Chain A
Amino acid sequence: MVVQRGDLACCVRCAGLTAAGRLARRHLLKSAVHPPAAEPSGQAGAGAVPVAGAADAAAVPVTGAAGAGAAGGAGAAGADTGGGSSQPAGPAGHPGVLTGTVLDASPQIITLYSPDGERRIALPPGASVWKGRQVDPTALESGDTVVVRMVPGQRSLADRIWANAGRVTGVLIERDRESMLIDEGRTTGRQAVLIPPHVMGRLQVRFPRLEPGYLVDFIGLRGRGYLEALVPATSQPTYRAGEAPARAPARGHSPGRIAGSAIWHEHAGPADEEGVRYPALDPETACQEQPLAGSGCPRLPYLSVGSLLRVRNECTGTARALPVTGCAPTAQIFCDRCVTCGTSPRGRIADLPMAGFVAMGGDLERGCFNATVALGSLSPGSPGPGSVAAGSLSAGPASAGRR
């Protein structure tokens, strides 16, 4: 069992190049044995993935399989703005979002160094800037790390800017008078959090138990090696991390779409940047980021790294199909609700990287948006980005299986 013994890491960023490629190939292999439902009209063009040999058919060789491997993994993110805004700007897989480092800032123009080079971004009068709180654009300084959401349809016109935003979600390990150490997960490591004295009271309104073992979730300003906590991202669970209530037994299959809240995290590397962390990875895969103690809520069906997950922001209507890139270790034990637009059902169902969260219409300082997730699959007609068909998280019977 390769996977069980760790030859394939459970999260994309932990995997080596070979393993990452293997993870990316899973979509193709799955499509071969379980072909996605056919499109109504003749979608299958020249680039279609020829699939055969499933079920009880004889072993039929399939050609053209290798090239589609690139469609998986991080590159498989597909945008689908069902009713939401279409945002063409931005590099990589996050439409309408630019991340980078501030080189120069003025009230009207900021110059960024982004992965695709130097960019000048105009700031219209209504553009807002968050840097621990809403600030004037002149508060941006050279060296600040920013996430910029563009005005829809514009490539260089900023709508909102978040500077040095950071977040720490995990279990409080040790606390001092003004600082604490938080355990975020096995591969993420521990995070130092500094709480300024004037913020402590505000944080303790929603996080009254700042004791070892309790869960915390803070948003603030990322410093060099620590986070300056400024905003509570949620209300603190009343239980300690190891004492999350056992989930109630439920009959029947999971619903096709599971509702809850989507949160964000600071991405831990390029491989983690364009995917989604999912709280319920198959426990048999010896995931390096096993969820912490407690089953929590809601009941999520098991998936694996590389599975496509269709995440929809219920507040904006934006939906994207993203590959699962890792496990969200603490998401299962936060049984909280998101109230960005209405009140979501309890539970965190997706953990997006910062840029992905912003691209889907989330505001970083809020910490979450109401979301639904469903299993996505590559449509048979076009295996590339943007060709993701929504599936169902409920388990249906197999079509043509043979023992």
Chain B
Amino acid sequence: MTGSGLPATLLADLQDVQPPIIAGILIGACLAKLSRVLRSIGWRGGGFRGVAPPGPAERGGARRRRVPSEPAIAGGPGVRPPGAALDAGLGPTQLFPLRLRRPLAMVMCAFEMSLGLALLVTELPVGTRAGTALWAPRAATGARIAAAAFFLVAAAALVELRERRPDLGCGCFGDFSTRPAGCRSIARAALLTASALISIQSPALYLPPRGHGALLFLGIAGTELAVIAALSPEVSGALVRLGYTDACELRRLPADRTLATLRRSRQWRKHARAITTEMPVDMWRELCWRYVVFPCRQDGKNAEVVFAVQVKRRRPMVQAAVLLLTTDWPHGAPAASVPAQNQSRHEAMQLSRRV
């Protein structure tokens, strides 16, 4: 960061901040894509019904003629959820044939991570002072040229994607990049290309000088990040997600928590003595309320007590009512103990009690 005048200082600082910023963007993009994969994998246990693996025709195997009424075809439950793919419906990989999308997406993600790490590692200085030589100058130059080439190709791919599949998001930052690729995404790629190009001659990492030099350095870095953020359609979505909570009727809340809330409530204590089973005989949800039904005895007669528990994390309301069962109600659970043969109910009750 040497120079006679302010423009030269500005240019030098601008060059110096590029490698870390570019490395951060590349690593962040890779991690965002990986998080998508991890979410999909974690989701598998939640009742997802996977789509069957590609058939023989898609795998390139021999086609066979099948009678329409043929009942069973390979590919059942337990297969990989398609959402686990890196190529899940986003990005320029969609321009390629189906069989190439997944490997291409994996290669791209790995390349982003490698390039980001390479930019950081090759920028390590031999010493700790400003202006010290690069530890591996040729490797650093190579990494920066590779980054420039990568962003140039990315910009071209986004132009192509916009032409051929205008409905698809660029997928640059995984699920955050679901909006159709637009001018901003292309401009961002072009900006990063230029950034990588001007960073080729930048020196090793160093601590900026104190005083005005540090302010100028930080100002340049902040300005560039702001420009990149302005060109990133993902930022607005990320900010919305940060402060977002679902409305109660759209919120998922485990039933275990509902039961735990119920058992802590005043209404439960009021009716607990009359309740004759440990397990609820029914539980369902409508909008912001979950209803839990227990059999009970009321004045020597069979009855049911229904609790309405609000689907709310803090201070949920609990309401209750008791209904008598008449003799012509064939499905009413008798006010008796838990059926011994119903092991699943008993296990469930044990689970709910541990909550």
Give chain A's interface residues, CB within 8 Å of chain B. 1-8, 17-18, 20-22, 24-26, 28-30, 32-34, 51-56, 58-67, 69, 171, 173-177, 179, 181, 183, 185-186, 190, 192-194, 211-213, 223-226, 238-243, 245-246, 249, 251-254, 282-287, 290, 292-294, 299, 301-307, 329, 375, 393-395, 398, 400-403
Contacts and interface: CB of A to CB of B under 8 A. Distances in A.
B306 A243 contact: no
Nearest to B241: A249
A241 B68 contact: no
B252 A283 contact: yes
Instruction: Output the residue of B90, B344, B351 with the most chain A CB within 10 A.
Output: B344
Contacts of A22: 281-282, 331
A241 B310 contact: no
Contact of B301 (A7, A61, A190, A213): A61
B52 A174 contact: yes
Given A28-B323, A29-B323, A290 B284 contact: no
Given A21-B330, A32-B321, A33-B319, 9 more contacts: A3-B282, A3-B284, A26-B291, A241-B82, A286-B47, A302-B286, A307-B284, A401-B318, A402-B265
Interface of B: 43, 46-55, 57-58, 63-70, 73, 75, 81-83, 85, 88-90, 98, 165, 167-168, 175, 178, 240-241, 244, 247-250, 252-256, 259, 265-267, 270-271, 274, 279-291, 293, 298-299, 301, 303-308, 310, 315-332, 342, 344-345, 347-349, 351-352
A290 B82 contact: no
Instruction: Output the residue of A224, A287, A394, A401 with the most chain B CB within 10 A.
Output: A401
Contacts of A53: 320-323
A224 B51 contact: no
A400 B317 CA distance: 9
29 contacts: A2-B282, A5-B345, A5-B347, A6-B344, A7-B342, A32-B306, A33-B291, A33-B321, A59-B305, A60-B321, A62-B324, A65-B324, A66-B329, A179-B67, A212-B58, A241-B51, A243-B89, A246-B178, A254-B249, A254-B250, A283-B47, A284-B285, A287-B47, A292-B48, A293-B81, A393-B249, A394-B249, A398-B317, A403-B315
A168 B248 CA distance: 34
A249 B240 contact: yes
A228 B349 CA distance: 48
A253 B324 CA distance: 35
Contact of A54 (B85, B255, B321): B321
- What 8 pairs across the A-B complex have the smallest Cβ distances? A401-B317, A242-B82, A21-B331, A66-B329, A243-B89, A301-B249, A225-B69, A304-B284
